[in-house]
Amino acid sequence: AGDYREGFVTKVAKDYFVVQVGSTVARLLFDDMAWAKRRLTGPDTAKDVVVNPNLKQVLKPGDVIEVMVKKLERDLVYVQLEQTPLVEGGLIALDPAKGAIRVMVGGYDFGRSEYNRAVQAHRQPGSAFKPIIYAAALNHGMSPASVILDAPVVYEQELEEKTWKPENYGKKFHGMVSLRDALAHSYNLATVRLLDKVGIRNVIEFAKTVGVTSPLAADLSLGLGSSSVGLMELTSVYAVLLNEGSRLEPFAIVSVEDSAGKVLELAESQALRVISKETAYGITNMMEDVIQKGTGQAAKSIGRPLAGKTGTTNDFINAWFIGGAPNLVAGIYVGFDDRRSLGETESGAHAALPIWINFMKEALKPLPVAFFSIPEGVTFVNVDPATGLLDGEQEGQAGTVDIFIKGSEPTQAPQRRLDPIDFYKLDQIPEGAL
């Protein structure tokens, strides 16, 4: 049990297949192969996920299949259909407070491929890059409550006679939104506008400050995670954000000892503060909302304080999730080595996050429950969600509490409350609110 075995179909019965596995005759119930889909054959992934409704036609006598023992019942052996996956990926887990690499998985099977995707592969991170942009915005004086427009926009591309029109997932837009909500729900249009507002060069410099070493495209596609980065590289950046802004160089070897047990070398990673505690807490708190109400909600099942972000690239080629707790940060990416599509809907939330959840549930068990520290330089203020300004309403729609660096909190209320979708009323928003 637990291992894959090769067998061949000998008979098709009413609701099961008879499978010969070595010297054992086993049964494969239709219910234990209902997940099987047609082989991915091309770019039209919508067709690729259609399941053959007649399971009797999926297999025929003589077909060689992979199975795993499911259960033994009296004299019968029941197996379930399995498949050695062709898709690959990597996993890195770090202790953000020490820099130690706790777990490294470079692929599905080292015997099949020695390529270490956790450190050698560079892939587009998609929206998993967005926390860097939002953290840069906080570092440049904005707050999680600052509002940005999430609406269609067209950019002229320099030196090219064409335009670029980014889109949101699902092709919807949401009007005026807070930075907090834009990150939680991964709005592309708002993020591209934010990148434009903060400045591409400023974001690139900030990315380098927090640990990005890969070359970054100096254009607005950076807002959608178009520049390839390594899993170790990006996970270590998240470790900075979740570790109060301090960076420690990741290390794998704790110590080197001689035959007598004498320590010859001891790994020591010195913490270097690269951003303020306030900026780090701001983006961490925003990424907590990704899990509480955004694209990472499935991770709430872990039942601990967590912060993280999903990532999905065009055509579902790469799926990411990176995040963690104060005492453990983990990153996962899933994708084919030849960079073909994972299939329609195989987003970070669908393809990477479930793996991350399964890993973190076990990895966090021996660790104490930890909470993200709130720095003294942060204050909480009730604000108008449509403008990010002070909530001056005494009646009607309630405001929302958000965090600010002390001294930067709003001091004025909007002249009137605007609905977030009233983005065409921009002239009614006080100067400096956007």
Q: What is the pLDDT along the chain (434 residues), one digit of tens a residue?
A: 567 889 999 998 888 999 999 999 999 988 877 666 555 444 454 455 545 556 667 788 999 998 988 888 888 999 988 878 889 999 999 999 999 999 999 999 898 899 999 999 999 999 999 999 999 999 999 999 999 999 999 988 766 678 889 999 888 999 999 999 999 999 999 999 999 999 999 999 999 999 999 999 999 999 999 999 999 999 999 999 999 999 999 999 999 999 999 999 998 888 999 999 999 999 999 999 999 999 999 999 999 999 999 999 999 999 999 999 999 999 999 999 999 999 888 999 999 999 999 999 999 999 999 999 999 999 999 999 888 888 866 444 567 899 999 999 998 887 765 555 555 445 444 444 44
Give the Cα separation of 114 and 190 in Å (integer). 40
* DSSP conformational letter for 294: S
- State the number of CA atoms in the 13 A half-sphere of 7 facing the CB: 30
The model's pTM is: 0.85
Give the Cα separation of 374 and 102 in Å (integer). 26
Phi, psi of 264 (to 5 degrees): -90, -40
What pLDDT, on the 0 to 100 scale, is given for residue 411? Answer: 85
Complete domains list, the chain, with CATH: 5-82 (2.40.50.140), 88-362 (3.40.710.10), 378-428 (no CATH)
Give the Cα separation of 264 and 306 in Å (integer). 37
Q: Of the candidates 168, 191, 189, which has an alpha carbon nearest to the alpha carbon of residue 180? A: 191
Torsion of CA 125, 127, 129, 132, to 10 degrees: 180
Residues 6+ apart with CB under 8 A from 280: 135, 240, 241, 242, 243, 244, 245
Question: How many residues appear in the chain?
Answer: 434
